Structure 1
């Protein structure tokens, strides 16, 4: 697989990573299969995927444990990113809160190290900025973890430009993770262009949900999600919005047909085309979809393809 650098001076990783969240929660949890997920993670690494993404909040620690088990304590050549700052108050109802306090960060890093079976975290994100805690305090504590050798690099998830600037003045931001796809382009918006900010500051931009939470694959004939699936209450998957948003999928299918590719591969390739510092992390727990996603790294979209994709209609419905 082609590689891309994870921040100036950072390691080179496969151009396409693997988001592991859905293996533990968020999507079709009745289909959770830890054995298959472990196999998918290992197969991904064999296929050149060397950037795995997890968080302590995903399944309230379950996802980190799963990734740690799959790697069996050996992460040579693999960058594992995890996150701190979102707290699961109630796993059954998915009630969440934020805690960016230095004490919480100190306690959480030790738990993440144990679950991931490692002595040092490759990339540690502040999952969300806690409005009750000055960012300088949260980022300062994370910086101390770097100095202590517990963390190699730091990142931010879904920050504003101002927040990224504040953090970067204290300690380099190696990566910013935000949603980016053909139907969510906030990170490219004028005045809030986080993709550009990352390029200008030597950071990687890591798009999550590059497949529009599965919608852009064109695999849904109609919205039918089990209770608890994030998409069951997502405005873009509601009946009226769903049908209107199929116009986006139609455009993606048209480009895919030109290349003998799948819509998923086109959607991922579009994110890759936003800059050499962009490293998407499509998630899957299915080995067939893993192979399909990895194949997107070899798809080169033309100028005409990109023009057609950039011209797709705006989605109906907010992203949350």
Structure 2
């Protein structure tokens, strides 16, 4: 009899404890199911809460990347080009996503020559055509891409390749100027002064208005900025990839350069798209990511659960907490999450209604720092092109 009573007491205590493993099926669930296959590019742990606001939060939030004014959040293009799975989305769906984003206040749309290759620039060009003059189009050069086959033949920022890339981007984007043109990766064989000089020429011709670098070495940033002031740096940055905080963000602040986190939701990890049962189909880039292997996911989910706990405090989803946290770092940080789903688009935009006090931000960061993350930041091939310094002139 006593043993039974003890067992009942133990059970009661366990039930009162916060069960992280059942987080999504207990505390946070309140809506209809949106669960999809673990092979999907959308979500694996769904359903999720979406507290829609009657107003459009991004319409009241503007930020500066250098001198360029943009919405507090942008829209990345990889999801609609089928980077994860499912192939390029139908243009009608892309139009709907992008036009809804614009109506809700997003004015920064990010793409690249190699997304497809070429496909995403065409998608974005058609989608934003009705309001092209009212938005900021950002794209990227820096690879030698075969115009006939789309084969990417390596990093290449020689002046003639930059010009060819920019001319192609202008046609695909249906525009006569690019608002923000990034060097996609630093070319270890071309001095950054030559790159900056080519950009200056293209600016004088009216084909580019602002420029930036993606994943550059710190010395390269200074050298580039000395020739032609940079508007933005675009690096990977999320709760489990915080290395920009040590040196890149301080350098941006010093030089007056904006910062654009790519992959702000960790390839969907912080959007509840990945769980312990997730396995990725052939061709899905996430299949080679070290942090979401079957061995590493269980430990790394601890960070997602931590973010979800904050979501309970602030009546928000993990995606919203993650994006709001990024926006809270600096007033010139503008994340660019991508999606091919309007529900998720609205959810992401809702992050602009969430704020962190300085004390909350400090507490949140301290909690993140205590969680061990297993696995390298990204795939080896991606990592080797990060932080590269351009050769001397």
Normalization by structure 1: what TM-score? 0.93
2:236 corresponds to which residue? 179
* Partners of 1:265 and 1:293 within 8 A in 2: yes
Return the alpha-carbon distance in structure 1 between the equivalents of residues 62 and 291 of structure 2. 32
Offset of residue 74 of structure 1: 3.8
Alignment of 1:1-320 (within 5 A): 1=58, 2-10=60-68, 12-30=69-87, 32-72=89-129, 74-88=131-145, 97-189=154-246, 193-221=247-275, 222-310=277-365, 311-312=367-368, 313-320=371-378
SS at match of 1:76: helix
SS at match of 2:196: helix
* Partners of 1:99 and 1:130 within 8 A in 2: yes
* Partners of 1:208 and 1:282 within 8 A in 2: yes
For structure 2, the 5+ residue unaligned runs are: 1-57, 379-393
Deviates more, 1:292-301 or 1:68-77: 68-77
SS at match of 2:348: helix
Change in Cα spacing, 1:217 to 1:148, as seen in structure 2 (3 Å) is same
Change in Cα spacing, 1:96 to 1:271, as seen in structure 2 (3 Å) is farther
SS at match of 1:5: strand
For structure 1, the 5+ residue unaligned runs are: none
Deviates more, 1:73-82 or 1:252-261: 73-82
Question: RMSD of the TM alignment (CA)?
Answer: 2.0
Offset of residue 25 of structure 1: 3.7
Return the alpha-carbon distance in structure 1 between the equivalents of residues 373 and 270 of structure 2. 11
Aligned length: 316
Deviates more, 1:142-151 or 1:310-319: 310-319
SS at match of 2:375: coil
Offset of residue 5 of structure 1: 3.4
Name which one, 1 or 2, has greater alpha-carbon Rg: 2
Change in Cα spacing, 1:297 to 1:91, as seen in structure 2 (3 Å) is farther
